[in-house]
Amino acid sequence: MTVTSDATTSGPDRAFYQALADDALAGVELSDARCEQLLLDPEIELLSLLHAAFEVRRHYWGKQVQVHILNNAANGKCPEDCSYCTQARTSDVDIEEYPMKPDDEILAEAQRAYESGAFRYCMVFSGRGPSAGRAEQLAGLVRKIKDAYPLEVCVSAGLLDDDKAAVLAAAGLDRLNHNLNTSEEHYGEICTTHTYADRIETLRAAKRNGIETCSGLIAGMGEPASDLVEIAKTLAGLGSESIPVNFLLPFEGNVLDEPVGLTPEYCLRVLCMYRFTNPAAEIRCTAGREFHLRSLEAMALYPANSLFLEGYLNATGAASNRTFQMISDAGFDIVSDWSVNELLAQHDGVDVASEQPVAIGDKSAVKTLDQLRPTGAAGAASAKG
Per-residue model confidence as pLDDT tens digits over 259-281: 999 999 999 999 999 999 999 99
Is 272 among the catalytic positions?
no
Could you read off the pLDDT of 133-157 as tens digits, one per residue? 999 999 999 999 999 999 999 999 9
Q: 214 an active-site residue?
A: yes
| Per-residue confidence (pLDDT) for residue 200, from 0 to 100 | 97
Q: Decide: 274 and 232 in contact? Cβ < 8 Å.
A: yes
Q: What is the pLDDT of residues 282-315, one digit of tens each?
A: 999 999 999 999 999 999 999 999 999 999 999 9
Give the CA distances from residue 204 to residues 160, 214, 241, in Å, rounded to whole numbers and listed in that order: 10, 12, 13
**Percent of the chain's residues with pLDDT above 90:** 87
Is residue 349 pLDDT above 70, yes or no?
no
78 an active-site residue? Answer: yes
Instruction: Choose the catalytic residue: 34, 57, 122, 373.
Output: 122
pLDDT digits (tens, 9 = 90+) for 164-195: 999 999 999 999 999 999 999 999 999 999 99
Q: Is residue 91 scored above 90 in pLDDT? A: yes
Ramachandran angles phi, psi of 234, nearest 5°: -65, -45
- State yes or no: pLDDT of 359 exceeds 70: no
SS (H, E, C) 30-74: CCHHHHHHHHHCCCCCHHHHHHHHHHHHHHHHCCEEEEEEEEEEE
| Candidates 154, 267, 272, 285; catalytic one | 154
Torsion angle (degrees, nearest 10) of CA 72, 77, 82, 86: 60
Confidence of residue 234 (pLDDT cuts 50, 70, 90): very high
Count of residues making up the chain: 385
- Our answer to whether residue 122 is catalytic in this structure is yes
- What mean pLDDT, rounded, does the chain reach? 92
Q: Residue 382 pLDDT > 60, yes or no?
A: no
CA dihedral angle for residue 147, residue 152, residue 158, residue 161, rounded to 10 degrees? 70
- Write down the pLDDT at residue 358: 67
Q: Tell me, what's the pLDDT at 363? A: 82
> Closest by alpha carbon to 182, among 260, 91, 127?
260
As beta bridge partners, residue 246 has 218
Q: Report DSSP state, residue 102.
A: P
Q: Is the pLDDT of residue 39 over 90?
A: yes
Given 57, 175, 199, 284, which residue is catalytic?
A: 284
Nearest-angstrom CA–CA distance, 276 and 281 = 10
- 85 labelled catalytic: yes
Query: Pick the catalytic residue: 34, 57, 78, 175?
Result: 78
330 with 301: CB under 8 angstroms? yes
Please identify which of the residues 214, 267, 272, 285 carries the catalytic annotation: 214
Query: Among this protein's residues, is 284 annotated catalytic?
Result: yes
Q: Which domains, from first to last, does the chain contain?
A: 56-372 (3.20.20.70)
Q: Are strands 282-285 and 306-309 parallel, antiparallel or unpaired?
A: parallel
pLDDT at 8 over 90: no
Residue 299's region, left for phi above 0, alpha for psi from -120 to 50, else beta, is: alpha
For residue 376, the model assigns a pLDDT of 81
Strand, coil or helix: 213? strand
Decide which of 201 and 1 is more confident: 201
Average pLDDT estimate for 327-351: 87
Q: Are 306 and 66 in contact (CB under 8 A)?
A: yes
Is pLDDT at 73 greater than 50 in this prediction? yes
**Residue 384 pLDDT > 70, yes or no?**
no
Contact partners, residue 83, CB within 8 Å, separation at least 6: 90, 189, 190, 191, 221, 254, 255, 256
pLDDT at 1 > cutoff 60: no
Residue 364: the pLDDT is: 86
Mean pLDDT lowest among 34-48, 120-134, 227-241, 349-363: 349-363
The confidence score (pLDDT) of residue 10 equals 67
| Overall average pLDDT of the 10-26 stretch | 94
Predicted local distance difference test score (pLDDT) of residue 36: 98
Whole-angstrom Cα distance, residue 335 to residue 310?
17
Could you say which of 34, 35, 57, 85 is catalytic? Answer: 85
pLDDT at 6 over 70: no
